[in-house]
Amino acid sequence: MKTVEDKKTQIINAAVEVFAKQGLEKGKIADIAKVAGIGKGTIYEYFKSKDEIFGAIENMFIGDSVSQIDKLANSKKTPRKKLEEIVNYSLNMHGLMGDAAYIIAELWAQHSREQLQGHKESHFANMYSYFYDTVINILDEGIKANEFRKMDKNGIATLLLALIDGIIWQSVIFKGDMEFNLKIQAAIKSFMEGIKK
Amino acid sequence: MKTVEDKKTQIINAAVEVFAKQGLEKGKIADIAKVAGIGKGTIYEYFKSKDEIFGAIENMFIGDSVSQIDKLANSKKTPRKKLEEIVNYSLNMHGLMGDAAYIIAELWAQHSREQLQGHKESHFANMYSYFYDTVINILDEGIKANEFRKMDKNGIATLLLALIDGIIWQSVIFKGDMEFNLKIQAAIKSFMEGIKK
Amino acid sequence: MKTVEDKKTQIINAAVEVFAKQGLEKGKIADIAKVAGIGKGTIYEYFKSKDEIFGAIENMFIGDSVSQIDKLANSKKTPRKKLEEIVNYSLNMHGLMGDAAYIIAELWAQHSREQLQGHKESHFANMYSYFYDTVINILDEGIKANEFRKMDKNGIATLLLALIDGIIWQSVIFKGDMEFNLKIQAAIKSFMEGIKK
Amino acid sequence: MKTVEDKKTQIINAAVEVFAKQGLEKGKIADIAKVAGIGKGTIYEYFKSKDEIFGAIENMFIGDSVSQIDKLANSKKTPRKKLEEIVNYSLNMHGLMGDAAYIIAELWAQHSREQLQGHKESHFANMYSYFYDTVINILDEGIKANEFRKMDKNGIATLLLALIDGIIWQSVIFKGDMEFNLKIQAAIKSFMEGIKK
DNA sequence: GATGAATGAGGGTTCATTCAT
DNA sequence: CATGAATGAACCCTCATTCAT
């Protein structure tokens, strides 16, 4: 039995596919409908507008990311393992979300523009602050457990988050380049070396 | 006396202003003309299409970045100083290019999409490879000069580039947040500490 | 026990309410269903199309008007009294039919257009001719009864019908204006004075 | 040389033709463009929206009517002659404005609806008040000139305006019916008889 | 009979591009 | 060269109607 939520998900998935291929603005509602295998009008039974679809994708991405990071942060693993898994999750996200990275980039830009113009608060900024706090906690934990050396936690946390973003960002461009994946692994190792006791 | 190049620059500047405020797709040719203080038709005397304006902005950005990095890399400074200045240049770029960061993000996404679909080669990827090689050289230089410790150069270079991108990316969101600027400085310092001898 | 006719009436009433508020074209079937407290699909069990609902409203209006005028015309009152009551009935119709006056205006226009284009005969025109004959008869009666002076019956009948329409028409605009109501009473009195013996 | 005003008039004329034939809502912008012999987009160079076209038609109608009535009221004719000409002008308006009567009816209904819902003040109501005052003045003039008998001016003025509206309204339905025209003439004559000294 | 989810034709509006001046 | 009036393809969204349940 299909619930409303199922249907929404079906549409969102089609939308992600279409927007990834054509871009947020060029992606047509008609195409989303075709991909979802439903009629154009049906989409409007579940979303008031194209903008609302944007919002839903954004929320899905943010929700998924937060819950995933949460799960990793609250696991029984060692701090070092936690950090590695957070980085790897982010790395894999591109694969997990399919081509969603393009979409996130555009939503991000769009959102930031609107935020700048005072239209709305940034969900992305909130997400960031949350991730930042989470990383700080793990670092603390690691220091107390004598696993990490004493460090400027703010600097390292910022470095780590920037690293993750940078990797995602670049992976958009170097998609499918095997050599790039090796470089990333090397980068992560170098980072972890830098903070270990 | 206005050369053709001057006029093109005038249009590009107007385009950057408009696209930054409205986005690549929502930014209208009519608005660019208005901001540039010329007629709508005149734009088409200098650019064949809106897409060509996108390309010109992209080239300008890549050209500026490459020449700037080049200049820094070939200066007489110490390797450590060179790296710091490269990072700082990138950091300031957001300020230097005004609101161009939004635009770059969208061009990037657009470009990656087209690349994925086999339409054209990625200027961004080329730019990256170039930056990567430049950083590797500086690291090499630093190790030989006994300024940097022995390290996995590939990992560290990748880490550095990702750091730069991540910072730019996040600065889009945290624009104007003073605390964020402090965190960035801390992150850079942490990174430099990690590679020094 | 609800008969089919009851259900139709229920729908018509809802339709009148909706059309009065939103107009014939802007008034949505979905809203009618909501107001009627039934499902959208149910409306199509009783009416083949939106146009058929228009027709039903029109028929109801014409039927109500004709039967009412008939009743008044065939009553035992004096001719003068009859005319006064016909006018007053029309005057009150606006109140009786709620906001139906707007609807009638639009149906009228729509109908006239279709008639002009040869699509169908005008029920409104038939209704008019009937009213016209009725008034002529009452005038005759009044003249014979020595209650009305000799007159050009055609002219006076036309004048009276136009007066009624004009008042309804204007009352749409001056709805709720007390002063306007006084003016109308004065107009009717003036008219009656003009035909009395 | 075509001015902007000329172009607007050209579009309005096409719009009147289209709306008269199809109705306000069913009349398509595309059709207006076709009738005007211009491109669809061009219409939006001169009018912001379909609603603005409605407004322009309304203003044209009201402006024309007011200026015409004004001219008649301020002429050197006798009061009786003035009234006759005002009535005749209104009668002819249907012919003068082509099929505009249908349009006016719908604008009227639309406008009244909006007014009722508090959206805007009614231009039509203002026009009415103006006509009313004008007629009162003429009646006054006629009484002083011993041309009209003493009367309830408010009643007679209201009667006259209602007569005019009623005639226009009915002429929509009886368009082209010669007998109807005779009846109207008879009605006017009857009215004039009723007020003469 | 009753329902409302699904549909897609249709229309208002936008805007990149053209071209006559 | 420069212009901006004109254009029409394109697209979002609405809503009357259908039909499986």
10 Å Cβ neighbour count for A3? Answer: 8
Strand F proximal to B7 Cβ, under 7 A: yes
pLDDT at C86 over 70: yes
Is B183 near chain A, with CB under 8 Å?
A: yes
- How confident is the model at residue C98, as a pLDDT? 58
Return contacts of B178-183, CB within 8 angstroms, 24+ apart. B182/A154, B183/A154, B183/A155, B183/A157, B183/A158
Of the given ranges (B177-181, C62-66, D19-23), which has the lowest mean pLDDT?
B177-181
Return contacts of D68-73, CB within 8 angstroms, 24+ apart. D69/D130, D69/D131, D69/D134, D70/D134, D73/D134, D73/D137, D73/D138
Residue located via tokens 């590009």: B12
- How confident is the model at residue C49, as a pLDDT? 96
B176 → chain A, closest CA residue: A116
Q: Which of residues 125-154 of A touch B (CB under 8 A)?
A: 125, 128, 151-152, 154
Contact: B163, A163; criterion CB under 8 Å: yes
- Alpha-helical (H) ranges within chain D are 4-22, 29-36, 40-46, 50-73, 79-96, 100-116, 123-144, 153-173, 178-195
Minimal Cα–Cα distance from D168 to chain C, Å? 9
Contact: D113, C102; criterion CB under 8 Å: yes
User: In angstroms, rounded to a whole number, what is the distance separating the alpha carbons of residues C170 and D131?
Assistant: 13
Nearest to C102 by CA among C12, C11, C21: C21
pLDDT at C184 over 70: yes
Contact: A167, B169; criterion CB under 8 Å: no
Among the ranges B187-191, C52-56, D147-151, which has the highest mean pLDDT value? Answer: C52-56
Angle at A151 between CA A150 and CA A155, to 5 degrees: 165
- B190 within 8 A of A155, measured Cβ to Cβ: yes
How much is the average pLDDT of D142-164?
Answer: 90
- How confident is the model at residue A4, as a pLDDT? 84
Angular region, C150: left φ>0, alpha ψ -120 to 50, beta rest: beta
- How confident is the model at residue D91, as a pLDDT? 75
% chain D with pLDDT above 70? 92
% chain C with pLDDT above 90? 43
Question: What average pLDDT is seen over chain A?
Answer: 86
Q: Which of residues 113-172 of D touch strand E (CB under 7 A)?
A: none
Kindly report, residue by residue over B9-55, the tens digit of the pLDDT.
Answer: 999 999 999 998 899 999 999 999 999 999 999 999 999 999 999 99
Nearest to B163 by CA among A124, A161, A65, A174: A161
Handedness of CA D74, D76, D79, D80 (dihedral sign): negative
* Nearest nucleotide over every DNA/RNA strand to the D45 CA, judged by C1': F5
- C167 within 8 A of D162, measured Cβ to Cβ: yes
Residue located via tokens 């009412």: C68
Minimal Cα–Cα distance from D149 to chain C, Å? 12
- C31 within 8 A of C38, measured Cβ to Cβ: no
Kindly report, residue by residue over A67-98, the tens digit of the pLDDT.
Answer: 988 999 999 999 989 998 888 887 776 655 56
Q: Please tell me whether residue C177 adopts helix, strand or coil conformation.
A: coil
Nucleotides of F under 7 A from a protein CB: 1-20
Q: Please tell me whether residue A111 adopts helix, strand or coil conformation.
A: helix
Quickly give B44 CA vs E18 C1' distance in Å. Answer: 10
Counting one residue from chain A and one from chain B, the pairs whose CB atoms sit within 8 A come to 167
How much is the average pLDDT of B130-159?
Answer: 91
Nearest to D110 by CA among D124, D126, D100: D124
Strand F proximal to A29 Cβ, under 7 A: yes
Return the nearest residue to F14, CA–C1': A41
pLDDT at A120 over 90: no
Minimal Cα–Cα distance from C9 to chain D, Å? 24
In chain C, what residues touch D165 (CB-CB under 8 Å)?
A: 162, 165-166, 169-170
- D160 within 8 A of C194, measured Cβ to Cβ: no
pLDDT at C94 over 70: no
Kindly report, residue by residue over B56-84, the tens digit of the pLDDT.
Answer: 999 998 898 899 889 989 999 999 899 98
Handedness of CA A45, A50, A52, A58 (dihedral sign): positive
Question: What average pLDDT is seen over chain C?
Answer: 86
- How confident is the model at residue C111, as a pLDDT? 79
Q: Which of residues 37-96 of C touch D (CB under 8 A)?
A: none
Decide: pTM greater than 0.85.
yes
User: In angstroms, rounded to a whole number, what is the distance separating the alpha carbons of residues B165 and A194?
Assistant: 20
- Helices D123-144 and D50-73: angle between axes, nearest 10 degrees: 10
10 Å Cβ neighbour count for C185? Answer: 14
Quickly give A30 CA vs E8 C1' distance in Å. Answer: 11
Nearest to A116 by CA among B13, B164, B171, B109: B171
Kindly report, residue by residue over D33-60, the tens digit of the pLDDT.
Answer: 999 999 999 999 999 999 999 999 999 9
Is A9 near chain B, with CB under 8 Å?
A: no
- Predicted confidence band of residue C191 (pLDDT cuts 50, 70, 90): confident
Angle at C87 between CA C81 and CA C92, to 5 degrees: 120
Residue located via tokens 């409605």: D54
- Predicted confidence band of residue C138 (pLDDT cuts 50, 70, 90): very high
% chain C with pLDDT above 70? 92
Minimal Cα–Cα distance from B59 to chain A, Å? 16
